[in-house]
Amino acid sequence: MFSTHAHRFRLMSSATGNTRQHTSPIPGLSMKWAVLVTVCVLAFNLRGPMLAVPPLLETIQHDLGLSGIAAGMITTLPVLCFGLISPLAPGLARRIGLDSTLLLAMTAIATGIVVRLGQPALTLYLGTFGIGAGIALLNVLIPAFIKREAPNRVGLMTSLYTMLLNAGAGVGSALSVPVMERTGWDWRPTLAIWVVPAAIGIAVMLPWMLHQRRHAGAMPALPKRRGLWRSAVAWQVTVAMGTQSMVFFSVAAWLPTMLQDAGMGEARAGAMLSIMTLSGLAGSFVTPILANRTTSQSWLSPVTALLCAVPLVALTLDPLRLTALWVAMLGFGLGMIIAFMLMLMILRAPDAHRASDLGGMAQGVGYLFASMGPILVGAIHDVTGGWEVPFVVITLLLVPYSINAWLAGRPRMVAAH
């Protein structure tokens, strides 16, 4: 059944798919290398500008005189943007083109990084919103870009995509405190560093946009497609995406604070977050390659759930015992999960346009749900006065994730119209 869908996609691609000239838009690079470089550069910007903030959150809070809720919104706002902006990405790509939308996304990220350095606290939130909006567009449209430009290398390209996503996250969480301490900078110039990879992303996407405009007449129409909201497969992907995102962002937001409350120093607690994100590199790299070689990907559901549940329970029982080991195991599992979810958005879609539709639904609804995670965990902590119950709740979220991931992993596709 899956091979039939794949054959149908190849026929559709040759008949109505990307018919524009396959000359490389980036001078000096072959088309293969142009796609690879573009995916890696865009992916590196997906988490770093966000996860550079949590290790500095206490410093930012004291500097601007923010309340706990106001400070928590700094990390929650980007995830909320994912939910609000993601559903708009497919329509925007249809209107102005996929490449132009990706360039717009990188411009929004770079602008947001600059704006959040302003003196009034309001600029911090405005800039954070811009960063979140840009990342939301990238979240949805990079898988569609891979489906369009590398349909026969989905496993490898998704591996590189998720690996660079985790690399950016790891660098963001790992460098913030050391850079601030060793340079003597305050938090603003420390966060300003992230404008560099964002500017590189703009430079990479600009020739793609110009290439799109030169060959606009040869590009196929991008029809608006309906029916996903009635698709069981689409909802299974969406629920799995939402619950795993809730786990990831809740842990990323509160793990350093939980470890500090247990007696760990600020720098070491930040290092644990970086270990978690960097450990995701291995998990995110191997998962798409393995998943693309099997007809069904359901087997990844119990494997990834177990790899996350065991360290979460261990950290809940004793956060200061074998912390680095459990954090590394958790990061590996979370890296596998995000790669699994991204693969499902590509493998369950018959073409690039439907991949963006599925990504818009799964990430729109999923991230709106996930944005409540850090707030819910913080509220439970305030009520209980400890971290045991909040982390038990995070662990229990793996139950609906594993059920829906198992169902979505079966070899079926959403409708093509």
Mean pLDDT on 28-41: 92
Q: Can you give the residue ranges of every domain in the chain?
A: 21-408
Residues near 303 by beta carbon (within 8 Å), at least 6 away in sequence: 336
Note the pLDDT of residue 249: 84
Note the pLDDT of residue 326: 95
Confidence of residue 225 (pLDDT cuts 50, 70, 90): low
Confidence of residue 199 (pLDDT cuts 50, 70, 90): very high
- 378-410 pLDDT tens trace: 888 888 888 899 999 999 999 999 999 999 999
Note the pLDDT of residue 252: 83
Measured CA to CA, the distance from residue 34 to residue 50 in angstroms comes to 26
Work out the burial of residue 389: count CB atoms within 10 Å of its CB; fewer than 13 is exposed, 13-18 middle, 19 or more buried.
middle
Mean pLDDT on 342-358: 83
Work out the burial of residue 248: count CB atoms within 10 Å of its CB; fewer than 13 is exposed, 13-18 middle, 19 or more buried.
buried
- 85-107 pLDDT tens trace: 988 888 898 889 899 999 999 99
Of residues 392 and 63, the one with the higher pLDDT is 392
Burial profile 309-320: b = 16 or more Cβ within 10 angstroms, e = fewer: bebbebbbeebe
Note the pLDDT of residue 385: 86
Class of domain 21-408: mainly alpha
